[in-house]
């Protein structure tokens, strides 16, 4: 370590000097990451936003165009609704799963964690193509439903098909925050509630559910925001008539070379994301004070 050789300036006690030097070293350590973010994240975003105001002509032209082109507003609304449905469905699927994870023994919990993380270790492309095979005409889903008399259910090219696949992809991002919030909840609270006269189900609704709200909020916002920017899945499984914001941006950039319009759409998406984060952080703050169930000063 080079910091060990730095001499403390006169008047500074050795201990304080060393502390400051260590802090300066820590500052250097984050430099690579900061540089990376600056070059590959902040700079491009700044460029995009800048272009949305300047390309092809300076002013708010691109944003006005979004309002009047007859399609962008529809796409934005459709994207928001889809993201809400995906986040909501993911929550409904993930909640019982995460709850079960807190109940089972350590070995079963290990297996359940691996099952959740499995998607992380599989290529996104592979999974999307797997859904493609399942959802296409004469695919597994079509044939299975055919067996029970529901013919011709082709999810491919529909919003429903896209939603189902996105829920599966998003599951880990919901299960993990939920689980980490739930394992903080003292299981004896449910015993206490039942001993006080609440049937099991009401005890759950009155005590457990409210205490798991912080986990629900963080999982929901994570999935909601990620779904807003999802590109591959809707591109592959959806239809061009039902496109979402990321597809339209891609189209503007690669087919229409409309960098300003794409930038404006991207900026709108960014604003929505920031708004969601702001609202959620507003909501979670009063809750985080409560998440410690065994208060013991």
Partner 1 sequence: MSPSPSDGSHGIRISRVSKVYPGTARPAVDDVSLDIAPGEFMTLLGPSGSGKTTMLSMLAGFVGVSAGSIEIDGRDVSRLKPHRRNLGVVFQQYALFPHMSVAKNVAFPLQQRRMPKADIETKVAEALKLVHLEPYADRLPTQLSGGQQQRVALARAVVYQPRALLMDEPLGALDRRLRDQLQREIARMHRELGMTFIFVTHDQHEALTLSDRIAVFNEGRIEQVGTPADLYERPETLFVAQFLGESTCFRGTVDRQAGVLRCERFSVRVPEAPETGSGVVIVRPERLELCADETEVPESHNRVAATVTDVVYVGTHHQVGLRFADGTTGMAMRLVGPPLPAAPGDDVTVAWDPAHQAVVADPAGAAVSVPEVRSATPVLP
- Closer to partner 1 by Cβ: residue 274 or 290: 290
- Closer to partner 1 by Cβ: residue 69 or 191: 191
- Among 98, 128, 113, 114, smallest CA distance to 236 is for 128
Q: Residue 184 CB, nearest distance to partner 1 (Å)? A: 10
293 makes contact with partner 1 (CB under 8 A): yes
Q: Which residue has the tokens 């439903």?
A: 145
- Closer to partner 1 by Cβ: residue 239 or 293: 293
Name residues whose C-beta falls within 8 Å of residue 230's C-beta, 6 or more positions apart in sequence: 166, 169, 244, 246
- Closer to partner 1 by Cβ: residue 154 or 198: 198
- Closer to partner 1 by Cβ: residue 187 or 240: 187
CA distance 9 to 20: 11
Residues 168-187 that bind partner 1 (CB under 8 A): 186
CA distance 206 to 215: 16
292 makes contact with partner 1 (CB under 8 A): yes
273 makes contact with partner 1 (CB under 8 A): no
Q: Which residue has the tokens 């008539």?
A: 241
47 makes contact with partner 1 (CB under 8 A): no
106 makes contact with partner 1 (CB under 8 A): no
288 makes contact with partner 1 (CB under 8 A): no
56 makes contact with partner 1 (CB under 8 A): no
CA distance 147 to 159: 24
Q: Residue 296 CB, nearest distance to partner 1 (Å)? A: 5
**239 phi/psi in degrees, rounded to 5:** -120, 155
Site string for partner 1, 181-220 (x = CB under 8 A): -----x-xx-xxxxxxxxxx-xx--xx--xx---------
Cis peptide bond prior to 56, omega within 30° of 0: yes
Q: Residue 185 CB, nearest distance to partner 1 (Å)? A: 9
- Among 241, 237, 199, smallest CA distance to 71 is for 241
294 makes contact with partner 1 (CB under 8 A): yes
151 makes contact with partner 1 (CB under 8 A): no
- Closer to partner 1 by Cβ: residue 97 or 208: 208
Site string for partner 1, 61-90 (x = CB under 8 A): ------------------------------
Distances (CA, A) of 246 to 75, 137, 267: 10, 26, 12
In Å, how far from its chain's centre is CA 97? 18
Name residues whose C-beta falls within 8 Å of residue 98's C-beta, 6 or more positions apart in sequence: 174, 175, 178, 179, 182, 215
Contact 232, 124 (CB under 8 A): yes
**184 phi/psi in degrees, rounded to 5:** -80, -15
Q: Residue 202 CB, nearest distance to partner 1 (Å)? A: 7
Q: Residue 297 CB, nearest distance to partner 1 (Å)? A: 6
Q: Residue 8 CB, nearest distance to partner 1 (Å)? A: 42
Name residues whose C-beta falls within 8 Å of residue 150's C-beta, 6 or more positions apart in sequence: none
- Closer to partner 1 by Cβ: residue 207 or 264: 207
Q: Where are the beta strands (DSSP E) in 38-175?
A: none
Q: What residues make contact with partner 1 under the rule CB under 8 A?
A: 186, 188-189, 191-200, 202-203, 206-207, 210-211, 289-297
């Amino acid at each position: 370590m080079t910091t060990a050789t730095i001499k403390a300036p006169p008047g500074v006690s050795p201990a304080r000097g060393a502390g400051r030097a260590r802090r300066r070293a820590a500052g250097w350590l984050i430099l690579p990451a900061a540089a990376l973010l600056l070059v590959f994240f902040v700079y491009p975003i700044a460029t995009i936003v800048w272009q949305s105001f300047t390309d092809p002509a300076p002013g708010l032209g691109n944003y006005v165009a979004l309002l009047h082109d007859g399609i962008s507003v529809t796409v934005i609304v459709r994207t928001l609704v889809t993201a809400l449905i995906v986040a909501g469905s993911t929550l409904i699927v993930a909640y019982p799963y995460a709850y079960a994870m807190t109940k089972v023994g350590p070995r079963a919990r290990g297996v359940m964690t691996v099952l959740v993380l499995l998607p992380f270790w599989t290529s996104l492309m592979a999974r999307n193509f797997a859904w493609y095979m399942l959802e296409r005409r004469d695919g597994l889903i079509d044939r299975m439903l055919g067996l029970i008399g529901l013919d011709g259910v082709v999810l491919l090219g529909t919003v429903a098909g896209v939603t189902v696949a996105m829920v599966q992809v998003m599951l880990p991002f919901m299960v993990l925050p939920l689980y980490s919030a739930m394992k903080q909840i003292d299981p004896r609270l449910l015993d206490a509630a039942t001993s006080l006269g609440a049937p099991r189900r009401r005890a759950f609704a009155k005590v457990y559910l409210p205490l798991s709200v912080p986990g629900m909020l963080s999982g929901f916002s994570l999935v909601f925001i990620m779904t807003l920017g999802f590109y591959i899945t809707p591109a592959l499984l959806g239809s061009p008539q039902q496109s979402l914001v990321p597809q339209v941006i891609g189209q503007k950039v690669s087919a229409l070379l409309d960098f300003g319009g794409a930038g404006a759409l991207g900026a709108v998406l960014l604003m929505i994301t920031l708004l969601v984060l702001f609202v959620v952080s507003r909501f979670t703050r009063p809750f985080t004070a409560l998440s410690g169930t065994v208060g013991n000063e």
